[in-house]
Chains A and B, each alone.
Chain A
Amino acid sequence: DVKVTQSSRYLVKRTGEKVFLECVQDMDHENMFWYRQDPGLGLRLIYFSYDVKMKEKGDIPEGYSVSREKKERFSLILESASTNQTSMYLCASSTSRFGLAGANYNEQFFGPGTRLTVL
C-alpha cells in the first residue's frame, strides 16, 4: 500500500517562527503536493513538485516555500509564520507513469494532515 506520512499531526507555533512541515512517501512517486484545507474553502494548492529539486507554485504560494532534495521527501516551509496560516496542511503524492501505477494512474494519495495553529 502507498503510504504518505507527515511529521506531525498537531503543531502549535508562535507568530514569526520558521516552521517546517515534512512529508514522506514510500512508493517512488515523482509528483508531490502541498495543499491547505480550510472550512468552506476546500483544498487549495500551495506548491507542487514533479521531480527532485523541481518546484512549481500553486494557487496560494505567498508566505510559503518548499524543498525537495530527495524523491521521497517534500518539505513545506513557513518562513515567518502568521496567524492567517493557521490551517490543516495536507501532503499528497502521485505517479504519472502508467506502468508503475496501473489502475492508480494519476491518483493522489494523501497523508493524514498536520493541523497547524499559529498564536
Chain B
Amino acid sequence: AQTVTQSQPEMSVQEAETVTLSCTYDTSESNYYLFWYKQPPSRQMILVIRQEAYKQQNATENRFSVNFQKAAKSFSLKISDSQLGDTAMYFCAFMKPNSGYALNFGKGTSLLVTP
C-alpha cells in the first residue's frame, strides 16, 4: 500500500505571510494523482488542489500552489498571503487510478493563521 507522510503535525503562520506544508509519499506506480484537502474547524473537508503525476507543471489555485517533485516523491503545498480563514487541518492524499479511486491520506498538518 502507498504511504503518505506529513512530517509537520502543527504549523503557525502570520496573516499575509507564506507557509509551506510538506508531504512525501512512497509508491512504485508511475501514474497517480495527488491531492491536498482542507478541513476547517467543525466544517466539511474540501479539495484545495490536485496534481496528476504525468503533468510536469505544478498545479496552482489562486493563493495555493504545489511543488511536485516526482523523483523525490515530494508534494508540498504553498499558501501565499495567508488569511485567517486558512486555519484548518490540511491532509495530503494519494490516489492510484484503477484501484477503486480511494485515497490514502497522511496524518494531517494543523495550520493556525494568526493576526
Contact = CB atoms under 8 A, between A and B. Distances in A.
Given A106-B33, A110-B45, A112-B44, A42 B101 contact: no
A42 B91 contact: yes
A50 B108 contact: no
B33 A59 contact: no
Interface range for B: 20 to 34
B105 interface: yes
Interface in A77-102: 90, 92, 94, 96
Interface in B49-103: 50, 91, 95, 97, 100-103
Interface of B is mostly: loop
Contacts of B95: 106
B11 interface: no
Contact of A96 (B47, B101, B103, B108): B101
Given A41-B107, A42-B106, A112-B44, A50 B50 contact: no
A31 interface: yes
B108 A42 contact: yes
Contacts of B100: 31, 48, 50, 56
Interface string B11-55: 000000000000000000000010100000001111100100000
A48 to B, nearest CB: 5
